[in-house]
Amino acid sequence: MKNHLVIYNTLTRTKEKFEPLNEGMVGLYVCGPTVYSDVHLGNCRTFISFDLIYRYLLHSGFKVRYVRNITDAGHLEGDRDEGDDKFEKKAKLEQLEPMEIVQKYTLGFHDVMREFNALPPSIEPTATGHICEQIEMVKQIISNGYAYEVNGTVYFDVEKYNKEFPYGQLTNRQLDDLIANTRELSGQDEKRGRLDFALWIKVKPEQIMRWPSPWGWGFPGWHIECSAMSSKYLGDTFDIHGGGMDLQATHHTNEIAQSQACNHKAPVKYWMHTNMLTVNGVRMSKTAGNGFLPGELFTGDHPLLEKGYSPMGVRFFMMQTHYRSTLDFSNEALQASEKGYARLMASIKTLENLKASARSTSDIKEIEKNCYDAMNDDFNTPILIANLFEASRIINSVNDNKETITGEDIISLKKLMHEFVFDVLGLKTETSNTASDKALQGVMEIILEIRKEIKARKDFAASDKLRDDLSKNNIIIKDTKDGSVWTIQE
């Protein structure tokens, strides 16, 4: 199974057969959040996509070391070493220590990931916990001749690097083209070249987050942390590096340059990038003002939201689009996903009480093959889900006595549904906690008990009437050998 996996590699812009560097093992690195504010739903899309990828690699039998970092230092507002430090700025605003900001938003991020049923990574290293490694790396890049120091700040020399290695490889751009699209240097700039970027930054007198280095007190540039931490935990060359598409042009391009300049090796075999979550076609971001938070989504407390949506409904919504396509948020799409998720879950419940027959009218092996083919084709979740819906349709047809299935196929179907729905897609049964749902649950238990008594008195006309009246209100009663069960028809 695992031998057939094909992954779209951003570096080569083609789908490639996945062949890990070490048989049976995968090293996976994903750029984690910058913990200076709450993660919005767009950030979540990227992390949930990689959770799916991690889950499927595990399901395929690989031993995966999944490293997802926490950026807790060194991220300036601008991508090109300009603007304030995000942590220092937020700390002033909230009147907290920068590390209080880090703690607050790291905990918040973990809560959100738990809500979405995302598995924790194997290692979650922080930038502040790896300052020594970053300094060592910068020293090595300087000694290899690809970086220079000016007044306590160290810059990477892009033009020198590009003489030997194609700097714009990840986005398929030539250096001249990149230079032409970058702001000209002013008299104040310390950099030698327009594309040069900081590896280590001299601290301003008022800054709290600071560390000693061979170049004086300062803090690491944003990109160096990922190069240092990925090579520390996964080696100088590892299998998969991921992140959102917006990281391709600068952060990941610079990561490749740093690692190559330091270790004389290309750091990554397969680069994977997730596409953006958009709202009415505009990328979700804090600055665009359309970045609602998962908490707001769950409660519905945001002007863009018609109602609250459950975490599993939202996860299912994300899974219905391939990770490399944009996903546009809309209330209609989310409501349709909620229904789809409920339908899938209801069929898994129905599957528990399905009656076996001598022969199957559907080919369950074919559906199983289709599910694996979809996932092995660059994690194609929309096609996987279409096949799971086909399985649901069969389950319901058998339950309505329109089709038949063998006992052996019931076992295969249970395995298939459980593995793909729970283990791979990462969905789980959601017990609703709203007061009205709990009340309905209680009322239905009372009604089913009354109906049981009516049936015990052999008043079948009354028990059928009760069932039919409930059905007119979309509550479907089904009598099984273990008693009556009810579901809501969507």
Q: Which residues bind ligand AMP (CB under 6 A)?
A: 31, 33-34, 42-43, 45-46, 243-244, 246-247, 274, 276-277, 283-285
**Contact at 8 Å (CB) between 293 and 263?**
no
Q: Which is nearer to ligand AMP, 43 or 362 (CB)?
A: 43
Q: Which is nearer to ligand AMP, 45 or 269 (CB)?
A: 45
- Minimum CB separation of residue 58 from ligand AMP in Å reads 21
- Minimum CB separation of residue 271 from Zn ion in Å reads 12
SS (H, E, C) 335-401: HHHHHHHHHHHHHHHHHCCCCCCCCCCCCHHHHHHHHHHHHHECCCHHHHHHHHHHHHHHHHHHHCC
239 interacts with, out of Zn ion, ligand AMP, none, CB within 5 to 8 A per kind: none
Strand arrangement of the beta sheet that strand 197-202 belongs to: 147-150, 153-156, 197-202, 218-220
Dihedral over alpha carbons 471, 476, 477, 479 (to 10 degrees): 120
Q: Which is nearer to Zn ion, 31 or 272 (CB)?
A: 31
Q: How many residues of this chain interact with Zn ion, rule: CB under 5 A? A: 2
Q: Which is nearer to Zn ion, 258 or 310 (CB)?
A: 258
- Minimum CB separation of residue 251 from Zn ion in Å reads 5
- Minimum CB separation of residue 333 from ligand AMP in Å reads 15
Helix/strand/coil for 130: helix
Q: How far apart, in whole angstroms, are the C-alpha atoms of residue 450 and residue 455?
A: 9
Q: How far apart, in whole angstroms, are the C-alpha atoms of residue 279 and residue 19?
A: 36
Q: Which is nearer to ligand AMP, 118 or 367 (CB)?
A: 118
45 interacts with, out of Zn ion, ligand AMP, none, CB within 5 to 8 A per kind: ligand AMP
- Minimum CB separation of residue 278 from ligand AMP in Å reads 7
Q: Which is nearer to Zn ion, 230 or 347 (CB)?
A: 230
Q: How far apart, in whole angstroms, are the C-alpha atoms of residue 129 and residue 132?
A: 8
User: 440 burial class (0-12, 13-18, 19+ CB within 10 angstroms)?
Assistant: middle
Residue with smallest beta-carbon separation from ligand AMP: 244
**Contact at 8 Å (CB) between 235 and 27?**
yes
284 interacts with, out of ligand AMP, Zn ion, none, CB within 5 to 8 A per kind: ligand AMP
Helix/strand/coil for 65: strand
Buried b (16+ CB within 10 A) or exposed e, 234-259: bbbbbbbbbbbbbbebbbbbbbbbbb
Q: Which is nearer to ligand AMP, 56 or 323 (CB)?
A: 323
From the list 226, 334, 344, 346, which residue makes contact with Zn ion (rule: CB under 5 A)?
226
283 interacts with, out of ligand AMP, Zn ion, none, CB within 5 to 8 A per kind: ligand AMP
- Minimum CB separation of residue 67 from Zn ion in Å reads 11
Q: Which is nearer to ligand AMP, 125 or 193 (CB)?
A: 125
- For the chain, the C-alpha Rg in angstroms (whole number) is 27
Phi/psi at 123 (5° precision): -140, 140
Which residues does 49 contact at the CB level (< 8 Å), separation at least 6? 274, 318, 323
- Pairing mode of beta strands 14-17, 147-150: unpaired
Q: Which is nearer to Zn ion, 118 or 371 (CB)?
A: 118
**Contact at 8 Å (CB) between 316 and 337?**
yes
- Minimum CB separation of residue 454 from ligand AMP in Å reads 54
- Minimum CB separation of residue 417 from ligand AMP in Å reads 29
Q: Which is nearer to ligand AMP, 45 or 139 (CB)?
A: 45
Q: Could you tell me if residue 379 is left (phi over 0), alpha (psi between -120 and 50 degrees) or otherwise beta?
A: left
42 interacts with, out of Zn ion, ligand AMP, none, CB within 5 to 8 A per kind: ligand AMP
- Minimum CB separation of residue 11 from ligand AMP in Å reads 17
Q: Which is nearer to Zn ion, 76 or 226 (CB)?
A: 226
Q: How far apart, in whole angstroms, are the C-alpha atoms of residue 134 and residue 126?
A: 12
How far is Cα of residue 297 from the mean position of the Cα atoms in its chain?
A: 17
226 interacts with, out of ligand AMP, Zn ion, none, CB within 5 to 8 A per kind: Zn ion
Q: How far apart, in whole angstroms, are the C-alpha atoms of residue 422 and residue 430?
A: 12
- Minimum CB separation of residue 34 from ligand AMP in Å reads 4
- Minimum CB separation of residue 242 from ligand AMP in Å reads 8
Tokens encoding 176: 């001249």
Tokens encoding 224: 């160096």
From the list 5, 11, 31, 424, which residue makes contact with Zn ion (rule: CB under 5 A)?
31
Tokens encoding 394: 């069969």
Contacts with Zn ion, residue ranges (CB under 5 A) = 31, 226
